Structure 1
């Protein structure tokens, strides 16, 4: 080969990989769709057994799996699981797995309980099973811990004393102090929903201290507005109503046409122990209210069908002029709506 031929050949463009000769390691390989995943249990697992994965998710065994053997567990989809009797589970609400009882419940109990999924079909008190969407979270339209709210006080604010609600972790703390004056503190969601929106409102209430007097009133639920001194003056509302130094949990409603005065649910609270309330407004002409999963005052017809709304989430704590005190924690107050 002549020198001219060599130069001509060497001047031609040679195609090299863009990585200039470097070989990339494989960065990802498709393994599973993820509806079911591989699982190797340390102890034998039975088909249908509910368990918790290391990542915290709930799973249901697809078949019997021997200890140390590779099997599969379901982590998505609609499953029917055992349910605690004596409580109702409403559609769209949270279901937790009671690890000790091996049944679904509406709450955890400081044990090894874990979140199972969102309830798909209402389960009655006597039902022994419930359908849930595994690992799916409810969708809330409004949540006072997440969404913008308005608060106003009546009385004299003091550092670390009376004033606006205080955020403690995920809870809101409401204080009425010993200053001898009328006081009111509230929290009202900026947004609301129509009375016909098929709403279910959830609250967890903890009366830390209900004081020693009788001047304090507490209202938690939904209303079309707040009030500077007296929640009873609000024209449209459905409330859990608590009185100072009294463990009765009272329920009331007012839609501007029909008023149901605060009525003793016959269920009492214990200071320092949270209780849950669900206001089921899917039939605004006959609202159902549940306390810790149990229907309260089922024969009492609470109404909001004549209300015009919009209805907003409201916590309203007030006292007339006195030295009475009160401490209230609202762990959550939130609402979800649906087509039916």
Structure 2
């Protein structure tokens, strides 16, 4: 039994596994280690559903913005999903209803899926209310917790929300929620709030272990504006101009080529450390080089302290990459750089 992903970690090689076994856990016959295969580069999906033993309705299908492997409580999420096809979403809804019916759920249920290369994987099912219920309820305009309580005392969904079943019968329901009409133009983004500034030694990097302490949301007709509102609510004001710093793991380098090009086209200056700098320059991008902390001075942390960096994009991989990156991330928190 694990609460909040406690003591969970993604390891990429044998050395990291041995280090985790030595540092992070007390291993014995009474406390075995569970090893699962990690679906890298997959999309995680949350579903909140409600049932009365006979009928089951999808409150909403949410796509996580962070990849699978980041704890669901630490992930930003979008209603409706913003990269998944409607066919994949329909399959997730179908599986959610079948699972809920098989478990004879009465009330709320939360299901988590991962999608990789179009294939849907079930991660976990929790027959209870999830932390996302208030977010979903505000988005769809129905109080799911209240409906669940009424189901608990014997009410049926068909008498509580007859208009929802009427829309479903006519085929007029939104593809991401049974509770919204198909023509509703809405994007709702849940963003999380972290206490990094209260823990000055903590590395602000996300993983399977939950670290957030709160949530905010942004709503608009299009995804970009809703996401920007959510960032503002979380206290992260995204810059409209200035300098962007990039330092990403080798496996992520191909993914930042278009991103870097987009920043350059918007008029930003792009800075990068050694490996990322060479990778982007080889692809014809006009990026500028900056030293890592371990390479001397002036380095990227000096630029952050001098308020010369306006946005940081950093992806660590494994423990070995975190010495330089740790100082970058801590400086970003200290000087409030998004």
Q: TM-score range by the shorter chain?
A: under 0.3
Which has a greater percent of helix? 2
Tell me which structure has the larger Cα radius of gyration: 1
Which structure carries more relative contact order (alpha carbon 8 Å, separation 6+)? 1
Query: Taking structure 2 as the reference length, what is the TM-score of the superposition?
Result: 0.25
Would you tell me which structure has more strand in proportion to its own residues?
1
Normalised to the residue count of structure 1, the TM-score between the two structures is: 0.25
